[in-house]
Amino acid sequence: MAAGRFLLRRLRASFRSPLRNALVDAPHARAMHDGGGPRRLCIEGNIAVGKSTFVKLLMKTHPEWQVATEPIAEWQNIQAAGAQKDGTSKRLGNLLEMMYQEPARWSYTFQTLSFMSRLKVQLEPIPGRLLQAEKSVRVFERSVYSDRYIFAKNLFENGSLSDIEWHIYQDWHSFLLQEFANRLLLHGFIYLQASPQVCMERLYQRDREEEKGIELAYLQQLHSQHEDWFINKTTKLHFEALQHVPVLVLDVTEDFSENAARQEELMGQVNTFMRNL
């Protein structure tokens, strides 16, 4: 994997130079969150880019941090409330698979589920141990923001969401995010960046059943959505505060899962980024 490339908007700072540019939004961002409490970070990136591997590395490096992973298992195994006679709960289906198989029918329903499950995760009360810890950090794998500006936006642009569904989704998304405003703010994004081709290879390697139908074209769409948002800054964001959240871009083209040196480099960049938040 090419050496970590710390790319900051249009300023091409070399890795060794002080990370001043990376934090061009930080003072503004910090001002937004002087409310104290844990720093909230979010990891974004394409399907199979290596988020779970990165999360494990973060947890090994910072066991005191709290990490909330993406509730994929919940989407794949929707269970009826309450128990059946035999004590088990009735399995209702795999909505992630339904969405992949019949996007025009199930994309909207899926996006309501994914959004609400991300909202629940981000609104969870702060665990006691984090409140006491001096420099506590909460890390989220994707967010209510990527639910809209990556996935739902992409489903509309590729025709899976009708314009009426996309309009209704945006309407309640904006409404709920205004209602929960401060509780959802993030201090920083970590964008794991790799080409769609690299993601496709990793997708084959992990060999998940419901991902069998995913094509390179879909990963290319999602890659463009990430790049438009975090690099090109062309995605229209409807939340003022969101526009100033600093972004740490980490090039994970090179497989870091077994590469200790590369892991150390990545964690070094994260630590520097955190110090300046």
- For the bound state, the minimum distance from the C-beta of residue 99 to a second copy, rounded and expressed in Å, comes to 11
- The answer to whether 28 and 244 are in contact (CB under 8 A) is yes
Q: Please, which residue, 113 or 248, has the CB nearer to a second copy? A: 113
The answer to whether 206 is annotated as binding is yes
Q: Is the dihedral of CA 144, 146, 149, 155 positive or negative?
A: negative
Write out the residues near a second copy by the rule CB under 8 A. 78, 80-81, 92-93, 95, 98, 105, 108-109, 112-113, 116, 119-120, 123, 163-165, 167-168, 170-172, 175-176, 179-180
The answer to whether 169 is annotated as binding is no
- For the bound state, the minimum distance from the C-beta of residue 264 to a second copy, rounded and expressed in Å, comes to 41
What is the token pair recorded at 58?
């973060």
Q: Which of 44, 74, 102, 141 is catalytic?
A: 141
- For the bound state, the minimum distance from the C-beta of residue 118 to a second copy, rounded and expressed in Å, comes to 11
The answer to whether 49 is annotated as binding is yes
Q: Please, which residue, 174 or 271, has the CB nearer to a second copy? A: 174
Q: Please, which residue, 109 or 197, has the CB nearer to a second copy? A: 109
Closest CA to 3 of 271, 273, 261, 276: 261
Sheet with 39-45, side-by-side order of all strands: 66-68, 137-141, 39-45, 188-193, 247-251
* E-strand stretches of the chain: 39-45, 66-68, 78-79, 91-93, 137-141, 188-193, 247-251
- For the bound state, the minimum distance from the C-beta of residue 96 to a second copy, rounded and expressed in Å, comes to 12
The answer to whether 22 is annotated as binding is no
141 is a catalytic site residue: yes
Closest CA to 248 of 2, 4, 61: 4
Residues labelled catalytic: 141
| Binding-site annotation: residue ranges for substrate | 70, 100, 111, 118, 142, 147, 211
